[in-house]
Amino acid sequence: MRKLTIIGLAIFLVTIVGVRGQPFKLLSDRDIQHELTGTWVASWGRGLNTTNVIAADGSYVSLTGGFTNGRTGQYQGTFVAKNGLVIGKAKFGDQTVVMHLHIIRLDSHELVWSNDQGVTLPPFHKVEGRLPPDKPR
């Protein structure tokens, strides 16, 4: 009996490790895009926070505030789900930056993703009624 318990525990642990190591692919690209639509807020620490307003077509406006000099950063771009990833494009003046974001967790309340370097970004939380000045239309 003890041998079966140990074998069962080993199989359970291997399964958990294997599942946690898999990329997020439980939702279809269409479902991911639907869940992304809305207003998301994240805190970066030291008073910095970001609000992303993502439209149904993937266009977004991002506003980051809390800098010590009182300035805010604002940019726009797109977040489009493709093959289980979110391809982000952000425009900074004349320059466009492309990001490949790996979804770790996404539901109607929380978004956690990591970049191509494997860095997990702070969690974003979906909020209602909090929009930056130039929300996507």
Q: Which of 126, 129, 92 is nearest to 111 (CA)?
A: 126
Q: How far apart are CA 83 and CA 97, in angstroms?
A: 20
The tokens for 53 are: 């307003």
Distance, CA of 127 to chain centre: 14
Architecture of domain 25-127: Beta Barrel (2.40)
In single-letter form, the type of residue at position 22 comes to Q
Domain locations in the chain? Answer: 25-127
Whole-number pLDDT of residue 36? 95
pLDDT in tens, 3-41: 433 444 334 433 333 344 444 457 899 999 999 999 999
What pTM, to 2 d.p., does this model score?
Answer: 0.72
What mean pLDDT, rounded, does the chain reach?
Answer: 80
Give me the phi and psi of 52, to 5 degrees please. Answer: -110, 125
